[in-house]
Amino acid sequence: MGGDEKGGFDRPAYSGEESCVMQYFAEQAKASGLQHHYDNLGNLIIETSGAFEQWVETGSHVDTVPCGGNFDGLAGVVAGFVALQSIAKLTPPLHHGLRLRIWRGEESAAFGITSIGSRAAFGQLSPSSLTMKCRGKLLREAMSDQHADPAAIENSTPSISADEKEHIAAYIELHIEQGKLLETEQRNIGIVTAIRGSRRSWISLSGTFDHSGATPMGNRYRQDCNLAMAYMHVRLDELVHENITNGFDLVQTIGVINSHGDKNENLAIYNNAVSKVSGAAFFSHEIRGADANEVAAYYRQAEILIHNTAAEFGINARIETFSDQSGIGTLNENIQQQITDACDDLKLSHAHMPSGAWHDAAVVAGQQRRNGSAIPVGMIFIPCRSGISHSPDEYASSQQIADGASVLATTLLQLASRNIQAD
Ligand SMILES: [Zn+2]
């Protein structure tokens, strides 16, 4: 569902295509004797039958980026569904109930916001999100079209009440790795230790446009923005490596230089030419890390470096942070151990690793119960071919998904069979 002519998949948040896949799982749940319902945000919840005090949960998403793959998100939903289906048939009865949450809109590609369904479910999505647009529709309109209620976001009303939150014993999400570590190291399963957050900024540089032939070399004569930018990039690369050597978990990317529609116009980038000293430049800067303090500490160093380099070249630098999302420094260690035990039982090799990408699991891991403790959260990664994701070439084999589903089912069953809290 949502297949496109390039062999990719287009299932934006709150689209008919996304709803169609959710409806498929609702029908499958019914056919399998599992309970299901939609919350007022349009998230689909599938549960084992029976009354339970505590619930062990899994979940993921079915939306995609434009021309995306069919495994990012969906692999976790399929694995979760199969796990519930097979465990529900078992006797003796479970101590805790099992629940699968199929979240709406995890990908930010549609409305520019990640994890719309899970954030809103915990009452943590800003009402201003409703005015974001995708395919010419406001989020508010797209939600209504899919029978979800935008008023819940307008009023910041969570669909998961404080009581319900209190009774989530654990949450485990399976996902494709979206990187190459497992394939390179030839491991079956990734046990996720942390989820990286990100801080993103635009850096705008302004100097002086001069004649390239008549202006002598050297900073005394030239206020060359492109040259200053090149030095900044090399120095930022050295700086991040220094921090990594000192034990920080960081990845840094300069994804865009001098090529953004709005910013070209505002900064007069169009005035740059082959025969001119560059008087304007800009670039994007993204730093990702699991530990918010490490990201903040690094960011302060990067700001100083950018301003010092700008001063050295006699130009001005303006830094505008447009997104700042804290990561999860450590996922629950007991659950990491449960997943490790499941891998050992199933004779599957594994590696411990942080998640470089954001997931709904990070939203759940950020939730606190009344006593201040966090909901215990874990993540299971399966390999994907060449680490490719967000592309029609995204692929995980049936065996890789089945291995992951077995680890997920074993871990969920362990947690649901014991009369103890995962934390
Ligand atoms: Zn995903």
Query: Mean pLDDT, consecutive 10-residue segments, the chain of 423 residues?
Result: 78 96 98 96 95 95 94 98 92 87 94 93 94 90 96 95 95 97 97 95 95 95 97 98 96 91 79 96 95 96 98 97 90 97 98 95 95 96 96 96 98 85 46
Q: How far is the CA of 390 from the centre of ligand 1 (A)?
A: 9
Cα–ligand 1 centroid distance for 282 (angstroms):
30
List Cα–Cα distances, 163 to 52, 58, 158, 201, in angstroms.
13, 18, 11, 38
Give dist(CA 365, CA 383) in Å, integer. 23
**Which residues have CB under 8 Å from 141's CB, separation 6+?**
none
Q: Is the pTM of this model over 0.75?
A: yes
Distance 411 CA to ligand 1 centre (A): 21
Distance in Å, CA 106 to ligand 1 centroid: 7
CA of 204 to the centre of ligand 1 (A): 32
Q: How far is the CA of 67 from the centre of ligand 1 (A)?
A: 14
Token pair 């190459």: residue: 180
Q: How close is the Cα of 255 to the center of ligand 1, in Å?
A: 21
Cα 70 to ligand 1 centre (Å): 10
Q: What backbone phi and psi angles, to 5 degrees, belong to 192?
A: -80, 130
Look up the CATH number of domain 16-196+328-417: 3.40.630.10
> What percent of the chain is helix, strand and coil (3-state, nearest 5)?
35, 25, 40
Enter the DSSP assignment of 94: P
* DSSP symbols for 316-381: EEEEEEEEEE--BS---HHHHHHHHHHHHHTT--EEEEEESS--HHHHHHT-B-TTSPBPPEEEEE
Residue 409, Cα to own-chain centre: how many angstroms?
Answer: 23
List strand residue ranges (DSSP E) for 85-221, in order. Answer: 97-103, 133-134, 137-138, 168-176, 189-195, 197-206, 210-211
pLDDT, one tens digit per residue, over 111-140 is 988 999 999 999 999 999 999 988 889 999
CA–centroid distance, 389 to ligand 1, in Å, is 9
What is the CA(61)–ligand 1 centre distance, in A? 6
Q: How far is the CA of 404 from the centre of ligand 1 (A)?
A: 15
pLDDT in tens, 39-83: 999 999 999 998 899 999 999 999 999 999 999 999 999 999 999
* DSSP character string of 13-31: TTSHHHHHHHHHHHHHHHH
Whether the CB-CB separation of 9 and 3 falls below 8 Å is answered with yes
Judge if 16-196+328-417 and 197-325 fold alike in CATH terms: no
133 and 14 Cβ atoms separated by less than 8 Å: no
Is the sign of the CA dihedral 75, 192, 323, 389 positive or negative? negative
Distance 99 CA to ligand 1 centre (A): 19
Please tell me the distance between residue 242's alpha carbon and the centre of ligand 1 in angstroms.
Answer: 31
The alpha carbon of 68 and the centre of ligand 1 are apart by a number of angstroms equal to 11
- The residue ranges of DSSP E strands in 129-196, in sequence order, are 133-134, 137-138, 168-176, 189-195
Record: fold of 197-325: Alpha-Beta Plaits (3.30.70)
Q: What is the pLDDT of residue 91?
A: 66
Average pLDDT, the chain: 94
Tens of pLDDT along 133-162? 888 899 999 999 999 999 999 999 999 999
Q: Which of 137, 286, 309 is nearest to 223 (CA)?
A: 309
The alpha carbon of 177 and the centre of ligand 1 are apart by a number of angstroms equal to: 9
Q: Where are the domains of the chain?
A: 16-196+328-417, 197-325
Distance between Cα 360 and ligand 1 center (Å): 8
